[in-house]
Chain A
């Protein structure tokens, strides 16, 4: 009865939102959970339930998995990006449930917030849980990555098979607590590096014995081919591994056999692809079918956008404020361009969740890597322009290269006339559109 009423009320709230042109994806779920806190316990879930959690890329990975399952003939319910707390998951359930109490799809694929995983798995037991990565992210809310690790660990049900990034010692640490695991990873490729670039790393010491970890190569921070010199804690060969990346054709190979054309070779994209590949394979889809459904044309571009104006490339790199890993990858990507260049930095809001004034994470970004003669200008824009300018100055980049702008509205003329070389917008997602609009204004 409670289930029926909950479903009815939830669907009515959805309907009311629709006719009022109001769109709050988590509200119907929130409303129903207030009335019936155990509503989710009463639901009959699909036979296949997959969850994805982690600091970056869980939304994209969820979408890739859901789309690929559909392409292979399954019906799938999945939550919209960001509706990843308990209320968002409840909304997804209400949207898809029948009055019989059953979600009629073949599969349910859920993006889940790292800290809310334990509340969600109390009601819904995933068959597979993908953990993309655990990095410094939203420190006022998350504390630190060790705390996030602990919260995820609490949320893994006993019979759930977990699929984690095997290149990251932080996620590899789950192997100290869990047995039934699959690892994905990426072998050394053109953006990897052998020598320490002296950036801030999340983990330097073995979680088992505290010896300093050795690396053959790194992809960023502490992610790479690591090995403890003292015990058996090591990357080893991942079960699903991108074994080659072709810079010219954008073709990647998984386990030396399956070829996929990626539409951008940004590291997080590659990890999202190989994470999705792993779970699709475990579910029983054949390699060639996985490859064809993961090919570039099917997957939306999100991290990277490029335009050419007057012979200069303008590249928008979508980063997340309060998450140094996304910025560091953008910095590494930018550093690979050895021609004259300009970078554009800025954000409108540090967080959408709270109003804390915490920009300490700017010092976990390795802007020092960009300090060379090829870097011609740095544009610092937005309400925090002087915080960015300070960071750039302290990276040793000469002050006369810094251009300060109140915001990025109509900044095309500044880019065109006052800066040199290719222009890399290393920007929080809320400054991507202003950047692209400004670039489009260049005549």
Chain B
């Protein structure tokens, strides 16, 4: 059984980030695996050791501040969860919670610009043999060159899309890792629609915002 939590579900839910959780749960169930999803509200207690996968998504800057004040108490729990191989998928500006002056689980520093970063994303990584696509819409930036951070089973990126909807191969990668010790068969997951959508966006000209 795979247990998933979507934390700060009612606070950090801008830009369709809840779709990540829907995609993972849906395809895991296709493999025959039993799945539970807990949508955890702001202020409710989070028992990290109880889960295999934690999702956290984008929020307004005010809401991100509220979440920061709350999540700080879990620093040790999150470090332990990470070293035990738990998955955490942070998308959008929620990655700012994990850097310096915040949880300090990663050593990047966040700075805020006047202009927002708004752009289509298509990136290569050293880990995957496919391009990761999606969208970015945020004001903060981190001092790292890579657009996606992969460490243990933590995946952090400003990329929205939703990330796991736009990138079925990434979802497949996560599902295969999650099911390493399970009898469920990852090849039973059917990504036909997502693959076709992925092709469509690869064939679309991606231009920048036009001035008004």
Q: Is the CB of A357 within 8 A of B204?
A: yes
Q: Is the CB of B16 within 8 A of A360?
A: yes
Cβ-neighbour of A393 out of B15, B60, B162, B193 (below 8 A): B193
State how many residues of chain A have any CB contact under 8 Å with chain B: 39
Q: Is the CB of B209 within 8 A of A361?
A: no
Which residues of A126-163 have CB atoms within 8 Å of chain B's CB atoms? 136, 139-141, 143-147
Is A189 an interface residue when CB atoms closer than 8 A count as contact?
no
Instruction: Give the distance in Å from the alpha carbon of A386 to the alpha carbon of B165 in the complex.
Output: 11
Q: Closest CB of chain B to A211's CB: distance in Å?
A: 9
1/0 contact string of A189-230 vs chain B (CB within 8 Å): 000000000001100110000101000000000000000000
Sort A-B residue pairs by CB-CB distance and give the 9 closest, nearest first. A363-B16, A363-B19, A360-B16, A386-B197, A386-B196, A146-B60, A390-B193, A355-B207, A394-B22
Please name the residue on chain A nearest to B58 by beta carbon.
Answer: A144
Q: Which of chain B's residues have a CB closer than 8 A to the CB of A177?
A: none
A204-B10, A354-B209, A355-B205 known; A146+B62 contact, CB < 8 A: yes
Q: Is the CB of B200 within 8 A of A386?
A: yes
Q: Which of chain B's residues have a CB closer than 8 A to the CB of A212?
A: 41-43
Q: Closest CB of chain B to A427's CB: distance in Å?
A: 19
Is A85 an interface residue when CB atoms closer than 8 A count as contact?
yes
Q: Which of chain A's residues have a CB closer than 8 A to the CB of B33?
A: none
A140-B209, A143-B116, A145-B60 known; A386+B15 contact, CB < 8 A: no
Q: Which of chain B's residues have a CB closer than 8 A to the CB of A390?
A: 165, 193-194, 197
Extra 5 A-B pairs, beta carbons < 8 Å, given A85-B212, A200-B13, A394-B165: A143-B137, A146-B60, A357-B201, A384-B200, A394-B19
State how many residues of chain B have any CB contact under 8 Å with chain A: 44
Q: Which of chain B's residues have a CB closer than 8 A to the CB of A266?
A: none
Q: Is the CB of A205 within 8 A of B15?
A: no
Please name the residue on chain B nearest to A85 by beta carbon.
Answer: B212
1/0 contact string of A342-385 vs chain B (CB within 8 Å): 00000000000111111111111000000000000000000110
Q: Is the CB of A205 within 8 A of B135?
A: no
Q: Closest CB of chain B to A331's CB: distance in Å?
A: 15
**Can you sample 11 A-B contacts with CB below 8 Å?**
A146-B62, A201-B10, A354-B210, A356-B119, A358-B137, A360-B16, A360-B17, A386-B197, A387-B197, A390-B193, A390-B197
Instruction: Give the distance in Å from the alpha carbon of A151 to the alpha carbon of B88 in the complex.
Output: 34
Q: Closest CB of chain B to A77's CB: distance in Å?
A: 24
Instruction: Give the distance in Å from the alpha carbon of A390 to the alpha carbon of B199 in the complex.
Output: 13
Cβ-neighbour of B193 out of A141, A200, A383, A386 (below 8 A): A386
Is A56 an interface residue when CB atoms closer than 8 A count as contact?
no
Q: Is the CB of A360 within 8 A of B207?
A: no
Q: Which of chain A's residues have a CB closer than 8 A to the CB of B155?
A: none
Is B61 an interface residue when CB atoms closer than 8 A count as contact?
yes
Q: Which of chain B's residues have a CB closer than 8 A to the CB of A363?
A: 16-19, 22, 162, 165
Please name the residue on chain A nearest to B27 by beta carbon.
Answer: A394
Q: Closest CB of chain B to A197's CB: distance in Å?
A: 13
Please name the residue on chain B nearest to A365 by beta carbon.
Answer: B16
Q: Closest CB of chain A to B31's CB: distance in Å?
A: 15
Q: Which of chain B's residues have a CB closer than 8 A to the CB of A355?
A: 205-207, 210
